[in-house]
Structure 1
Amino acid sequence: MKLNLRNPLCIFDLETTGTNITQDRILEIAVVKMMPNGDIVRKANVLNPTIPIPAESTIFHGLKDEDVKDKPTFKEVAKDYARFMEGADLAGFNVMKFDIPMLVEEFLRCDVEFDYSRRKIVDAQKIFHMMEKRTLAAAYRFYTNKDLINSHTAEADTEATMEVLLAQIERYDGKDVTDSLERKIGEIKNDVEVLSKLTVSGLVDLAGRMVLNEKGLEVFNFGKHKNKVVTNVFKEEPSYYDWMMNGDFPMDTKRKLTEIKLRSFKK
């Protein structure tokens, strides 16, 4: 199928050192430029982010510090990409929430002009979510081929959730679960403990302000200490505990934070 275009359309994706727009950096950029005449031009680079690549990030994209140490920096290719994407509209998956803000931030660091406000932007994820609803009613219809009656009443939604869960187990029992790199991370089994580890793993508090890293240690999942071990932060900046305890955080988060602090004192 040929897309109707008035301007070139640059579909792009980024791999990064993390998800913090101001602190993280681009590791890989790939652009597919669709031309109004049907031609397609491609441009891609693996980049040296100039900062260490966290292990948590490597899990998703597979890139390590040694893989990128001899690659160009974004600053070295920024003008080339700005020219390549000049006059083109933009598209991607989840592009408005992450990729465009990250790309613009990198261009600004290099003093390279990239005005997205004059371009049309298409987010394929938004279309996906608009057309393939991620609601209980949509799941109920997908797994049971029935319409959910009295949706948004607690009783009907509870019964529907039970049917969805049973249908999921029947459909997927014994099938592998893979990550974004198609590496196996588990298997669907008719076992609540297995399902729990697959669907709710790594959370320390319910708000997700703290999570477990790959070593099973509690790390902060937000702010200036993101990805830092909680107990190490307490040693380096003891006042951070008081700031969180006096801040607008859920009681569950504060309770878990206190448990970690007391445990570290016992050691």
Structure 2
Amino acid sequence: MPRGVAALSEVGHTVEGMDHGEQLPLWDDAADEPAGVPPRRALDETRPAEASVAKASVAQPSARAAHWTDAVGVFDLETTGVDVTSDRIVTAHVGLLGPDGSARSARSWLSDPGVEIPEGATAVHGITTEHARRHGRPAAEVVAEVVGALRELFAAGVPVVAYNAPYDFSLLKYEALRHGVAPILDPTPVIDPLVLDKAHDRYRKGKRTLEVVAAHYAVPLVGAHDAAADAIAAGRVAQALARRFGLAAPVHELHTQQIGWARTQAESLTEYFIRVGRLDPTDAVDGSWPIR
């Protein structure tokens, strides 16, 4: 397992549904928060010793050779919409899972995106404009810290799992450019369970949303569309895929394979959309991966 991986800071509130019923601190509790309303505080109140990903190491198992699933970074965003060039980050999560899928470290953020959060987006993730303005941190600070946390994982050789990776990494890139933060232009290595699932179980019918795919691989997902819950579930799905399909290739080789698989999947989807009239024959689904 790669060394040099620190404990991303663990903060306050809990998300249930961990293995063996454990709970991982993720949010700060707010005693006066009404039921069903997302937590109020920005989720980056870290203890100084835990603020850097590179300050502590993860021990390697001695019984077998290291595998990329032994240390898996996880990343997810909840946003104001689906346009990666213009929409903004509302919440973010970067964490680290151990070989058994247990959450070893976690850091989450609540951002004030600086724009109105549409009702449709609030209906998905539960964060209102008022809540984000009152309790979120400035977007530029959040973007810089998310980028920094991911850079530390990549520098340590830890693969970062992101479900539908081009969405999260592309939106983060444009947010970084918007706020004067040096963007991550070539995230490597990345693991995308959506691409892996389509490549290895191509003909399975039904949707491929994270909720559906997690259920298919018997991975609990409690509180879908919460950045932390989605990120952790995606990481565990990636580990389940590795077990199911024997994905033992070195992680950088697997990263390269996903580039080709994503391109092929986009070409197939383009053909389908044109056939059913949902896409003009002169257009095409963008198959760039893991960032656009």
Alignment TM-score, normalising by the size of structure 2:
0.42
Higher-helix-fraction structure? 1
TM-score by length of 1: 0.46
Q: Who wins on radius of gyration, i.e. which is larger?
A: 1
